[in-house]
Structure 1
Amino acid sequence: MTEPVEIHQLRYAVATADAKSFSRAAAVLNVKQITLSRRVQQLEDRLCVKLFDRSTRGAEITENGRPFIEQARRIVTDVDNLRTTARNVSYGQQGRIAVGYCSPIMAGNLRYAISEYLTKFRDVQFDGIEAGLEKLFHGLHSHVVDVAVAPIGLEEDGIASRRLWSERLYAVFPVDHALAKKEQIYWQDLRREIFVVSAGGLGPIFGNLIAARLTEQGKRPNIILQDTSLESVLSMISAKRYISIATEASQGVAWTDLRFQEIYDPTGPARLEYALYWRENNDNPALQNFFSVIEKPYPC
Structure 2
Amino acid sequence: MERIELRQLRYAVVTSDAQSFSRAAATLNVKQITLSRKVQQLEERLGVKLFKRSTRGAEITENGRPFIEQARRIVTDVDNLRTTARNVSYGLQGRIAVGYCTPLLAGNLRLAIAGYLTKFADVQFDGIEASLEKLFHGLQSHALDVAVAPIGFGEDGIVSRRVWSERLFAVLPDDHALAEKEQLYWQDLRREVFVVSSVGLGPIFGNLIAGRLTEQGKRPNIIVQDTSLESVLSMVAAKRYISIATEASQGVSWTDICFHEIHDPTGPARLEYALYWRKNNDNPALRRFFELIEERYPG
**What TM-score do you get using the length of structure 1 for normalisation?**
0.95
What does the per-residue CA deviation read over 1:49-108, in whole Å, with 9 as the maximum and x for residues that have no partner? 221110112111122222322332232222223223333333222211111111121000
Deviation at 1:270, TM superposition (A): 0.2
| Equivalence for 1:164 | 163
Q: What amino acid sits opposite 1:229 in the alignment? A: S
One-letter code aligned to 2:54: S
Q: Is the 8 A contact 2:171 2:260 kept in 1?
A: yes
Query: Could you tell me how far apart the structure 1 residues matched to 2:72 and 2:252 are?
Result: 31
Whole-angstrom CA distance in 2 between matches of 1:63 and 1:170: 39
- Report the equivalent of 1:187: 186
Kindly tell me the number of residue pairs found equivalent between the two proteins.
Answer: 297
Q: Is structure 2 residue 18 aligned with structure 1 residue 19?
A: yes
1:84 matched to 2:86? The reply is no
**For the residues of structure 1 that align with 2:67 and 2:93, how far apart are their CA atoms?**
38
**How do residues 200-279 of structure 1 correspond to structure 2 at under 5 angstroms?**
200-279=199-278
Residue matched to 2:106: 107
Structure 2 counterpart of 1:198: 197
CA distance, structure 2, for counterparts of residue 55 and residue 160 of structure 1: 46
Give matches, 1:34-45, under 5 Å: 34-45=33-44
Work out the CA distance in 1 between the residues paired with 2:121 and 2:72: 32
Aligned to 2:174: 175
Q: Partners in 2 of 1:24 and 1:235 — Cα distance? A: 22
In 2, Cα distance between equivalents of 1:291 and 1:25: 40
Task: Tell me how far apart the structure 1 counterparts of residues 77 and 272 of structure 2 sit (CA, whole Å).
Answer: 29
**SS of match in other structure, 2:295:** coil
Aligned mates of 2:193, 2:260 — CA distance in 1: 16
8 Å contact kept, 2:197–2:225: yes
Match of 2:59 in 1: 60
CA distance in 2, matches of 1:64, 1:198: 27
CA contact under 8 A between 1:174 and 1:259: conserved in structure 2? yes
Stretches of structure 2 lacking an aligned partner (at least 5 in a row)? none
Partners of 1:36 and 1:239 lie apart in 2 by 35
CA distance in 2, matches of 1:204, 1:96: 30
Post-superposition shift, 1:292? 1.4
Q: Which moved more, 1:265-274 or 1:155-164?
A: 155-164
TM-score, structure 2 length as denominator?
0.96
- Give the aligned residue type for 1:235: S
CA distance in 1, matches of 2:25, 2:261: 43
CA contact (8 A) 1:169 1:263 kept: yes
Q: Percent identity?
A: 82
* Alpha-carbon shift at residue 26 of structure 1 (Å): 1.5
* Alignment partners' CA distance in 2, 1:228 and 1:272: 21
Cα deviation 1:2-52 (Å, max 9, x = unaligned): 123211001111221222211221122222211111110111122222211
For each residue in 1:186-208, what CA deviation from the matched residue of structure 2 results, as whole angstroms up to 9, or x when unmatched? 00000000111111111111111
User: Aligned equivalents of 2:167 and 2:160: distance in 1?
Assistant: 21
CA distance in 1, matches of 2:69, 2:254: 34
* Inter-CA distance 87–156: structure 2 relative to 1 (3 Å threshold): closer
CA contact (8 A) 2:168 2:271 kept: yes
CA distance in 2, matches of 1:66, 1:124: 41
Q: Is the 8 A contact 1:164 1:275 kept in 2?
A: yes
Aligned residue type for 1:5: I
| Partner amino acid, structure 1, of 2:64 | G
Q: Which string of whole-angstrom CA distances, capped at 9 and with x for unpartnered residues, describes residues 207-240 of structure 1?
A: 1111111011111100111111101111110111
Contact 2:170 2:260 in 1 (8 A): yes
Amino acid at match of 1:208: N
Does structure 1 retain, via aligned residues, the 8 Å contact 2:139–2:145?
yes
Opposite residue 210 of structure 1, the aligned amino acid is: I
* Distance in 2 of aligned mates of 1:294 and 1:197: 30
Give, in angstroms, the shift of residue 181 of structure 1.
1.1
The residue correspondences of 1:277-292 to structure 2 (distance < 5 A) are: 277-292=276-291
CA distance in 2, matches of 1:13, 1:82: 20
